[in-house]
Structure 1
Amino acid sequence: MNSKAILAIAAFAAVASVGARADEADASQYGVQFQGSRTRAEVMAEAATVARTRSVEPAGSRVAAQVKSTVDSKAVRAEAAQALRLGQISSGEGNS
């Protein structure tokens, strides 16, 4: 092995040994003390209210009602054909 490879291995070993250190197993340093202002009964009553009023329907799952048009479909087709003949709209797959 050449000296660059040995130096790289030594540097990696030094970095790895710095990163590995012992700590408490129970993670008690992350414990948070919390003091609530509401009673357990208040929280339980709110949870029961939410459960009764909650909808099981996913958000955005309703379909909008169909819009009733007053225009005849034959009139729409005639207008589209006339616009096509006059070059007001493109036809086919071209992007003109």
Structure 2
Amino acid sequence: MNAKSLLAVAALAAAFTGVARADEADASQFAVQFQGQRTRAEVMAEAATVSATRSTEPAGSRVAAPLKSTVDAKAVRAQAAEALRLGKIPSGEASI
């Protein structure tokens, strides 16, 4: 029984040591060198013009202007009431 548990511990230790050495320790893949072609002043001038011309209003936040209609609101309500009375507009579970 003791030999089985010792063997299991040794197998687990061997498995975890392989996982621990899976990557480089110096993290050299994160050290990226970048050489730009523009000066700092050019970038700052471009950033200033972008912020001056961009709208701070979120997209789609404007309310649409009301549509112009020649139909009277009382006539529309009367037609809707008549359609409901005649059963042309389903309601309740029948509306599915």
- Which of the five TM-score ranges fits, normalised by the shorter chain? 0.5 to 0.7
TM-score, normalised with respect to structure 2:
0.66
Q: Give the structure 1 partner of residue 83 of structure 2.
A: 83
Identify the residue that residue 57 of structure 2 maps to in structure 1: 57
Give the letter aligned to residue 64 of structure 1.
A
**Identical aligned pairs, as a percentage?**
67
Q: Distance in 1 between matches of 2:70 and 2:28?
A: 71
Q: Which has the higher helix share?
A: 2
Q: TM-score if structure 1 supplies the norm length?
A: 0.66
Deviation at 1:30, TM superposition (A): 2.0
Q: Which residue of 2 aligns with 1:23?
A: 25
- Cα distance in 2 between the residues matched to 1:73 and 1:12: 79
Give the length in aligned residue pairs: 92
Deviation at 1:90, TM superposition (A): 0.2
Supply the distance in 2 between the matched residues of 1:68 and 1:13 (Cα, whole angstroms).
Answer: 78
Aligned CA RMSD, in angstroms, stands at 3.0
1:24-73 deviation digits (Å, cap 9, x = unpaired): 2xx33322222222232221210111122232322322222222332112
Correspondence for 1:45: 45
